[in-house]
Amino acid sequence: MNTSYTGIGMTSQRTRMRMVERLRQQGIKDEIVLSVMGEVPRHLFVEEALAGRAYDDVSLPIGFGQTISNPLTVARMTELARASAAQGELNKVLEIGTGCGYQCAVLAKVAKVVHSVERLVQLTAQARKNLRNARVTNARLRHGDGHAGMPTEAPFDVILLTAAATHVPNALREQLAAGGRMILPMAKGIRGDEQYLLVIDRTTRGFIEKRMDAVKFVPLLPGTG
Ligand code: SAH
């Protein structure tokens, strides 16, 4: 056994548990979400130079002007995703904005399968590598513009966007299963710098929208790169 590796592993396990305690104090109540946040090795999703800060209460740069969301935001969105399902059992989830793949890895622990779309080809490749390192096997990544969703895999129990939209893309609404839920950061205000989480439930009587916590995300951009 490689003792130095085990040493790092134990340190990050302890740091991860401190992060979980913080999430509990910050109001995360779903025990499954807390335990998943304690399992997923967040340090494997950031650059080595930043690994020491991986469990801090901050978002971090992941290259190409993009960021990995802070742990509270990831936990909060996952909690909202799970709360939509009967007994918390999610079948198919669609994520828009794979980034480094961390939110995808967390979702993969609470869903049967996660499809995730990323517009930047380099980040898609990096996320594939990160998810392999973290031994996540039920995530399917695709390079493309998330505005179109993934019609071939629809309908989804949950559609989660990790980049801020100024309007709800129609294609995504249509790809939501009956009883399904979309969770997205909405940008408002003159400069689009005022953001909040929007939850949209698809019921038999139509779509019901609820405005939630204030958040801060990079913008949802058109096209691919
Ligand atoms: N969930 C990510 C957060 C990434 S930041 C994580 O855990 O790391 C948001 C990501 O959304 C960026 O990588 C950005 O390139 C991507 N993005 C922005 N607009 C997009 C679009 N239209 N389609 C797909 N991805 C998009």
> Residue 2: its pLDDT value, please?
39
Instruction: Indicate whether residue 103 lines ligand 1 (CB < 6 A).
Output: yes
Tell how far the Cα of 120 is from the centroid of ligand 1, in angstroms: 8
> Residue 176: its pLDDT value, please?
97
Q: For a pLDDT cut of 70, what percent of the chain falls above it?
A: 95
> Residue 191: its pLDDT value, please?
72
Of 45, 117, 162, the one to substitute when testing ligand 1's pocket (max ligand atoms within 8 A of C-beta) is 162
Instruction: Indicate whether residue 198 lines ligand 1 (CB < 6 A).
Output: no
* Distance separating alpha carbons of residues 216 and 218, to the nearest angstrom: 7
Instruction: Give the per-residue SS3 of the chain.
Output: CCHHHHHHHHHHHHHHHHHHHHHHHCCCCCHHHHHHHHHCCHHHHCCHHHHHHCCCCCCEEEECCEEECCHHHHHHHHHHHHHCCHHHCEEEEEEECCCCCHHHHHHHCCEEEEEEEECCHHHHHHHHHHHHHCCCCCEEEEECCHHHCCHHHCCEEEEEECCEECCCCHHHHHCEEEEEEEEEEEEECCCCCEEEEEEEEEECCEEEEEEEEECCCCECCCCCC
Mean pLDDT in the chain?
93
Instruction: Indicate whether residue 66 lines ligand 1 (CB < 6 A).
Output: yes
* Distance separating alpha carbons of residues 43 and 20, to the nearest angstrom: 14
Catalytic site includes residue 69: yes
Of the residues 4, 12, 59, 69, only one is catalytic, namely 69
Instruction: Give the mean pLDDT of 70-86.
Output: 95
Instruction: Give the mean pLDDT of 174-178.
Output: 97
Atom of ligand 1 nearest to the CA of 67: 5
Atom of ligand 1 nearest to the CA of 102: 7
* Distance separating alpha carbons of residues 206 and 203, to the nearest angstrom: 5
Tally of CB atoms within 10 A around 73? 19
Instruction: Indicate whether residue 154 lines ligand 1 (CB < 6 A).
Output: no
> Residue 9: its pLDDT value, please?
59
Chain segment 122-161, per-residue pLDDT in tens: 999 999 999 999 999 999 999 999 999 999 999 999 999 9
Q: Whose CA is nearest to atom 16 of ligand 1?
A: 97
Instruction: Indicate whether residue 67 lines ligand 1 (CB < 6 A).
Output: yes
> Residue 86: its pLDDT value, please?
76
Q: Whose CA is nearest to atom 10 of ligand 1?
A: 97
Chain segment 13-28, per-residue pLDDT in tens: 999 999 999 999 999 9
* pTM, to two decimals: 0.95
Is residue 10 pLDDT above 80, yes or no?
no
